[in-house]
A and B are shown apart, each in its own frame.
Chain A
Amino acid sequence: MSAALLHAKGVSISFGGLKALQDVHLELRPNEVVGVIGPNGAGKTTLFNAICGLVTPDSGTLELNGKDRAWPRTDELVDLGISRTLQGVGLFPELTVLENVMVGAQRLAKTGLISAALGSNKKDEEILRDKAMRALDRVYAGTLANRRADTLAYPDTKRVAIARALVSEPKILMLDEPAGGLGPQDIEWMNNLIRNLTATMSVLIVEHHMDVVMTVCDRLYVLNFGEVISSGDAEKVRRDPAVIAAYLGTGVA
């Protein structure tokens, strides 16, 4: 078993009196897909937010590539090889699709701000444009490049959001409900994409859709009321009585 890319240990977070996460452990190894599932309000997105620096845990430590480090700031993530999509997709509505993806590529720019302002390094911008195009092609959205983001159909916005996360060439891709709001065909497409991505990166998914999770994930963590109640491969988790109880108890199948 290879060393973990990312290892969150003993993460606890509370908001006021509410314990959102309690002593959560999560490990992500190279080239695997790991799913974080659980009923609504179980703390899945909070866990994502902690890893992304959007909330600061009360306790717990983070290891990246086997080394302990402070919880990252949001704007360090891309440098650390971590990219994330948002539940609400979060495209910039009035930018074009290509510009949206290029925003994710800013860290690859080699020029400093001054020359960027002068636009003196055309080559640099060409390179970013090319990378953004390639990321779009990877999600089969190349033909959308020049459309304004707010003119896209919903499934297409999801593709573009993933392209924006891919363009910085991450080692860890975090997808927040990638299948949310998608029809069966798009879900199948999304599953294939996620599986293909593992050639070059690891994927961490928060997802409601059990079909998606069971199809694409190598391992699962099940959260309920902020605690990991089960973890392991999909088959094992599916048969875990604690998981069945948690899901039946809240009426989410």
Chain B
Amino acid sequence: MTRAVHRRMLPLLLMTSVLLTGCWDRVEIDQRGFVVGVGIDEPDKKEGEKQGSNIQDHDTQSQDKQSGVSSKQTFKVLYQIVMPAGLSTNKSDGSSEGDKAYFNMSVEENAMATSMAKLSQRLSRAPFFEHLKVIIISESIARKPQKFAEAIDFFLRESQMRRSTRVMVTRDKAGNILNTHPPDQKLPAQYLEELSDNTKESSRILPESRIGDVHEFLLKHKSFAIQGVMNGNRNYSTVTEAAVFNGTSNQMVGFLNSKETAGLNFMEGHVKGGQIKFTFEDRLGVFSIERVSRKLDCTFGRDNLPSFIFHIEVEGSVDEVFHAPDTLKEPAISAMETGVQKEIVKLMESTANKLQHEYNCDVMGLREYLFHNHYRWFKQHENQWEEEGKLFSTRPVQMDVKVSVRRSGNINLTED
């Protein structure tokens, strides 16, 4: 290289050094505060909050009280943040007692993004949402008009967010649920996420409600149900209920209890497993579901209004029978099948009844069915379905359930 080229290279090198000053977005991994769970509650009205095991923010509350804005905030947002040190497993046994892998911090605000900003005022580590697993929303927020959509907007809009984050509603305080800390799980949020996946074990758990799906329901004005979680205490929470949302007003109207949730699962064809307790000939038996297929049909009557029939075929085995007759013989098998069949029809009818007559919310997918398969009719009657004409609540719905008991376990009779 000649000297001239050297001379020309020098300014170039200087210029590039300006560009190499660093990365704007560099955040070391130990500087991130991984938020894994979010709980959204109504702010407390009472003074002097009960001291939980979590680190609560007395600071802000006292500040808020001083400035008198406490009542104006609409959300009390609880963030669950990972403490990486508590996660490591290879620690000496002695210290593991006091080590927690998470802490909760709550903020009162009326918008999520500002609540996050408030959080950053208190945490040395910047909150980071890409590993957010669950959002728990308390019933009181979900029941207020508009508030539900307002609460989840941030979690859909922010670019760090994933559409697969779980959303659940609780009768309890969301804060209590996020303190559930069973001995075998380090993080409540992860515990809840895995719990919500247990649909193969129980028919009374609704399929997991992903925030992306909820977004679509809100846009479609479809009534929908999302997983409910309850009795949060130190050692466990229960995921079994379903919170029903009205598609017109996009607010929560009520809960389905666990049996009704099972009925809803059957109607939507979401059952993947679980047990059905049934009686036949005054005996008690437990049927274990292995496979379910669901088909919805409708026929239009003379008044040009549809009536629906659910065809459901269930296969499975018998897990437990008290004082069983000869479970290998045809009469007993068909008796058991009838018993299970009646039980499932009962479940579904009670759900349909509640949805049609109490909540007037078409969660079971009739509206979608009409939209998909009878578009013309749907367009004419779109506004009369749930709202004015209340078509939904008057439509007859029949259940046609077929049960096959394929197996009855290792033994035939328990006692003779």
- Is the pairing of A and B real? no
Using a CB–CB cutoff of 8 Å, the interface residues on chain B facing chain A are none
Using a CB–CB cutoff of 8 Å, the interface residues on chain A facing chain B are none
